[in-house]
Amino acid sequence: MRTLRRADALVMAGLVAPAQRTAIEAVAARYAVALTPAVLALIDPADPADPIARQYVPDPRERDSAPDERADPIGDQAHSPIKGVVHRYPDRVLLTPLLHCPVYCRFCFRREAVGGAAVALTDHELDAALDYIRDHDAIWEVVVTGGDPLMLPAKRLARLVRALDAIPHLGAIRFHSRVPVSDPTRVTAARVAALASSDKAVWLAVHCNHPRELSAAARAACRRLVSAGIPLLGQTVLLKGVNDDPAVMEALLRALVANRIKPYYLHHLDRAPGTARFRTSIAAGQAILRRLRGRVSGLCQPTYVLDIPGGFGKAPIGPVYLDDAGTVEDWQGARHVCPDDA
């Protein structure tokens, strides 16, 4: 089975109604489409509300943009001093060596950029990006993202890790990837060895939004990474119709921790064009986390964050348990006086 990229293939797979073929072709002409065999195996075509299909199968509504949606919803471009680098915070940068992914999430905040013609930095562009990092000794962490950096060939990935490892002022290298859940066969021994070759701390953040995405193959891929000494973090986007239910979120967070993936961020959805059908309110996200407080271990608790539109960075937006009157709410909803020793 091959990765599905065209409307005709989606129709043949029973994922798109024949009457929608033309509309889906129009969506695919603007936004990249790809569903790997690993993802296809998780989808129930008979379920019109399947949470896996909802994340990956294109929808005609993607062509409808709301006035408050932005092509660059988190303001990357305003903080990009050189191609491939986003420098928003003093001590860390994003490095995007390529804008190609194994699958294309229908809610992606970089959907206007990923999967296009210029999918990878040239050798010259990558060298220039690395020189920028070398020249700014306040940078302590590099977050390698994209696109998906685990789409890089193993040798190119190894060269990138070695180059970052050789920069003295770096303390941590973090990769962000959907590959372990969406295309786990790419987590090869060579790619794992490339990630593990650094003397610096290398972390991998795994993007996973639903417990069913942690298939047997995905779990095996994560074990290979952990066994090589690479600690795993979990990144999740709050999505209407996918995980905006306390029971689903609880199952997901437990499954992540059970597979040695520490939940890190729960992202409020960025306002990318054509993504309104995935949007929940911040209050709904806070209610889910409030429901989980005390029900799941502290290991399972992510930080709920909003990337402030316009490029102003992330802000934690989780529920607040201490009020101005000096009372604090416990996990069962009761309030208690909390003396302020200051």
Catalytic residue among 291, 314, 321, 338: 314
Provide the residue ranges of all domains of the chain, joining segments of one domain with +: 1-64, 65-337
Crossing angle for the helix pair 123-135 and 154-165, to the nearest 10 degrees = 20
- Average pLDDT on 6-23 reads 96
Catalytic residue among 50, 59, 76, 270: 270
CATH code of domain 65-337: 3.20.20.70
Q: Say if residue 342's pLDDT is above 60.
A: no
Percentage of the chain surpassing pLDDT 90?
93
Is-catalytic flag, 110?
Answer: yes
**How large is the greatest C-alpha to C-alpha distance in the chain, in angstroms?**
67
Is-catalytic flag, 92?
Answer: yes
Is-catalytic flag, 200?
Answer: no
Would you place residue 339 in the very low, low, confident or very high pLDDT band (cuts 50, 70, 90)?
A: confident
Q: How do residues 280-328 score in pLDDT, each as one tens digit?
A: 999 999 999 999 999 999 999 999 999 999 899 999 999 999 998 889 9
Is-catalytic flag, 338?
Answer: no
Q: Say if residue 117's pLDDT is above 80.
A: no
Would you place residue 118 in the very low, low, confident or very high pLDDT band (cuts 50, 70, 90)?
A: low
Separation CA 288–CA 285 (nearest Å): 5
Catalytic residue among 105, 208, 222, 300: 105
Q: Say if residue 7's pLDDT is above 80.
A: yes
Is-catalytic flag, 148?
Answer: no
Q: How do residues 222-269 score in pLDDT, each as one tens digit?
A: 999 999 999 999 999 999 999 999 999 999 999 999 999 999 999 999
Catalytic residue among 56, 72, 76, 92: 92
Q: How far is CA 313 from CA 96, 98, 172, 309, 316, in A?
A: 17, 22, 20, 8, 10
Is-catalytic flag, 104?
Answer: no
Q: What pLDDT sits at residue 134?
A: 98
Q: Say if residue 8's pLDDT is above 80.
A: yes
Sheet holding 303-307, edge to edge: 85-89, 92-95, 141-144, 172-177, 201-207, 232-237, 261-267, 303-307, 314-316
Catalytic residue among 88, 106, 111, 178: 88
